[in-house]
Structure 1
């Protein structure tokens, strides 16, 4: 009897076609990130959709590597202030979580909900708040607004990711 694999720790081999597709998703994330609104500690952006797609198509390892590179490229192209590698780590962790939950799996409500909850809780609230505290923000001032913002974002992100993954499942290109 075969057991159901809950998480995928595999990533596909890259060829020229798949690298071009990964670069396209990276460019999409850069574009979507430009539509962010908010302050340094309360920023909202639709870039998570491209990150989830990178995880879906390329698994945790390639998605994490692409997200880390993309964080640095985004800083070089559009950043202001000091470059902070904590945010690079956060981007890689979020992409790896999406890759573990979505790569080689069909989109299900529970899978999308758990992955989104982990990214929101671990990456956005815990790591993101920790990085801001390390940069000098007062934890007592930023924690609750960040928690409330992420609680509001959680169902929105989960619904959008679920819809996008259901949509791309029907038209998933062959990357082999």
Structure 2
């Protein structure tokens, strides 16, 4: 009987204790940044949760990024509820964003253009698209009525997020700490 996965595929799916620890720490960091250090209104949230999300996607790829994003969302909601109702839609968004980052940035040169492309794709597809849809369903608000506010927020935060990620990936100390991961540093 033929094996379903080759040895190379099996090896690429195995995780060391260090990998599991790093993934767990990034998930915990994302929960803390989301639940305690974010500025939130009903329709807008400003936070730095994108940092561990992007770093996980860069280091481990789209699938680990998606799994950890969804896990962080669910764990954060059940461990530290904020009064908002649980919505599986936002869990889908929390999984789709790192998947997009991973597809665009994992094992590829981390150029400013590629980082901006990844941030733009997540902004359009997840932040403006999916999250606005979930808010529309959850709060029964007019989609087109809240869209200008959400567009403005994301237009302002897009260059900030891309700049922070570009700076982080260009930082020599961070590059040394992430040595051994399949990352193509360009600076």
TM-score w.r.t. length of structure 2: 0.83
Distance 1:159 1:74 in 2: 27
Give the alignment partner of residue 141 of structure 1, picking from 122, 145, 148: 145
Distance 1:175 1:18 in 2: 10
Distance 1:104 1:27 in 2: 24
Residue deviations 1:116-159, cap 9 Å, x none? 00011110000010001111122233110000110001100100
Residue deviations 1:11-31, cap 9 Å, x none? 753222101111011111122
2:52 is matched with 50
Equivalent residue pairs, number: 166
Unaligned runs of 5+ in 2: 1-11, 183-187
1:32 is matched with 33
1:73 is matched with 75
Q: 1:105 to 1:175 in 2, by over 3 A?
A: closer
2:127 is matched with 124
- Asked if structure 2 preserves the Cα contact closer than 8 Å seen for 1:26 and 1:66, the reply is yes
1:8 is matched with none
Give the alignment partner of residue 110 of structure 2, picking from 107, 124, 141: 107
Please state if 1:18 is matched with 2:19.
yes
Stretch of structure 1 that moved more, 27-36 or 60-69: 27-36
Distance 1:169 1:105 in 2: 15
TM-score w.r.t. length of structure 1: 0.88
Q: 1:175 to 1:111 in 2, by over 3 A?
A: closer
Unaligned runs of 5+ in 1: 1-10
- Asked if structure 1 preserves the Cα contact closer than 8 Å seen for 2:27 and 2:71, the reply is no
Q: 1:28 to 1:173 in 2, by over 3 A?
A: farther
1:159 is matched with 163
Larger Rg belongs to:
2
Stretch of structure 1 that moved more, 137-146 or 116-125: 137-146
Q: Which protein has greater RCO, CA pairs closer than 8 Å, 6+ apart?
A: 1
